[in-house]
Amino acid sequence: MEVKIGVQHAPREIVLESGQSADEVERVVADALAGKAPLLSLTDEHGRKVLVPSERLAYVEIGQPTARRVGFSTI
């Protein structure tokens, strides 16, 4: 699952592939935005943690990764 995180006053967004479901990611983001957690904490597919202060979140996009085409085909 692809997750894009926009951080205030940062020129680039954070993009990570997470093994968590969309519902799990949405719950963690909602808790961070509600003030229940001081940090948004997500783990990517390689086991690395991404921590973002909750007050610095600009947006979070939760989506499916795009399928990559491999090989040749005729049109």
Tell me the residue range of the domain where 44 lies. Answer: 2-63
| CATH code of residue 45 | 2.30.30
The residues near 29 (Cβ < 8 Å, ≥ 6 apart) are 40, 57, 60, 62
- Establish if 24 belongs to a structural domain: yes
- Establish if 69 belongs to a structural domain: no
Query: Across the strands, what pairs with 49?
Result: 43
Q: Please, what's the b/e burial string for 59-68 (b: 16 or more CB within 10 A of its CB; e: otherwise)? A: ebebeeeeee
- What percentage of residues in the chain have a pLDDT greater than 70? 87
pLDDT band at 75 (very low <50, low <70, confident <90, very high): low
Q: How many domains does the chain contain in total?
A: 1
- Establish if 70 belongs to a structural domain: no
Q: Does 17 score more than 80 pLDDT?
A: yes
- Establish if 71 belongs to a structural domain: no
Mean of pLDDT over the chain: 88
